[in-house]
């Protein structure tokens, strides 16, 4: 049997044990997309390398937290996560989020700024800048019928086909996806001073959330350095371009924005 990683200082239900990076000089907290959990980042540590510790975030209602109630509010998620994250953070850290994770990472960055411990960088992926109309993010997906919701998920090509074709697995997955879409589609943008944090926005060329306007809208949300990087592909472009994406977020986490 493969040995399990030892728990880390500050570990909690938010941060499952992962591969170690004992020589890391920075940390990267990774928030998942809708329907996903911490396991979506299981390969990132080996790809990014040992100088950045990858810390996937496990949200309620998935993974080892499957029995916990699902959360349908970005604010509720962020308020509950901020304290444990600051306990877990023992090095300079960056935030990364894909799709729903990008929205959570953005709101979390504001909360951490308020608490006096901002991230060194915010990397958002596959998500239109949140001040834009919700229509640019696809409308009210969380209210669709089960059949139409499955069709929507299949079109995004980010969930294994065997899961979508397996009724028992689908029965477990759909409530999580609905809750996560509700997080995004009921989120109300709050006017605040721009983040004093560099922001990098990533997107796929065939993803509506990754078009030029949607990504460059993030420019308005920071008064620090801002960059955009696009990749061939759809909403889950990062699966096909993991090495390049990992290089970008690694440089962000070790505070080398000019090299991105």
Is residue 99 annotated as part of the catalytic site, yes or no? yes
pLDDT in tens, 192-251: 999 999 999 999 999 877 788 899 999 999 999 999 999 999 988 998 999 999 999 999
Whether 202 and 238 have beta carbons less than 8 Å apart is answered as: yes
What is the pairing mode between strands 26-31 and 199-204?
unpaired
Residue 165: Cβ-neighbour burial (10 angstroms; 0-12, 13-18, 19+) = exposed
Greater model confidence, 2 or 202:
202
- Choosing from 12, 46, 73, 99, the catalytic residue is 99
pLDDT in tens, 70-87: 999 999 999 999 999 999
pLDDT in tens, 148-203: 888 877 776 655 444 556 667 777 888 999 999 999 999 999 999 999 999 999 99
Q: What pTM value is reported for the model?
A: 0.89
């Amino acid at each position: 049997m493969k040995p399990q990683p030892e728990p880390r200082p500050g570990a909690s239900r938010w941060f499952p044990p992962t591969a170690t990076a004992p020589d890391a000089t920075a940390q990267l907290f990774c928030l998942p997309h809708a329907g996903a959990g911490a396991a979506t980042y299981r390969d990132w540590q080996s790809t990014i390398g040992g100088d950045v510790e990858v810390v996937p975030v496990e949200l309620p209602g998935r993974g080892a937290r499957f029995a916990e109630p699902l959360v349908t509010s970005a604010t509720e998620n962020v308020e509950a996560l901020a304290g444990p994250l600051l306990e877990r953070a023992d090095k300079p850290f960056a935030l990364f989020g894909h799709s729903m994770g990008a929205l959570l990472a953005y709101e979390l960055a504001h909360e951490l700024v308020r608490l006096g411990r901002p991230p060194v960088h915010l990397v958002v992926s596959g998500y239109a800048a949140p001040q834009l109309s919700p229509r640019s993010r696809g409308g009210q997906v969380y209210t669709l019928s089960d059949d139409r919701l499955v069709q929507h998920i299949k079109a995004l090509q980010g969930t294994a086909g065997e899961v979508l074709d397996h009724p028992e697995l689908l029965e477990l997955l759909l409530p999580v996806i609905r809750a996560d879409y509700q997080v995004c589609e009921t989120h109300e943008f709050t006017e605040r001073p721009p983040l004093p944090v560099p922001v990098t926005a990533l997107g796929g060329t065939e993803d509506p959330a990754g078009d030029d306007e949607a990504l460059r809208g993030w420019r308005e949300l920071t008064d620090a350095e801002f960059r955009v990087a696009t990749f061939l592909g759809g909403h889950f472009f990062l699966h096909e371009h993991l090495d390049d994406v990992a290089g970008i977020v690694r440089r962000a986490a070790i505070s080398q924005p000019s090299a991105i």
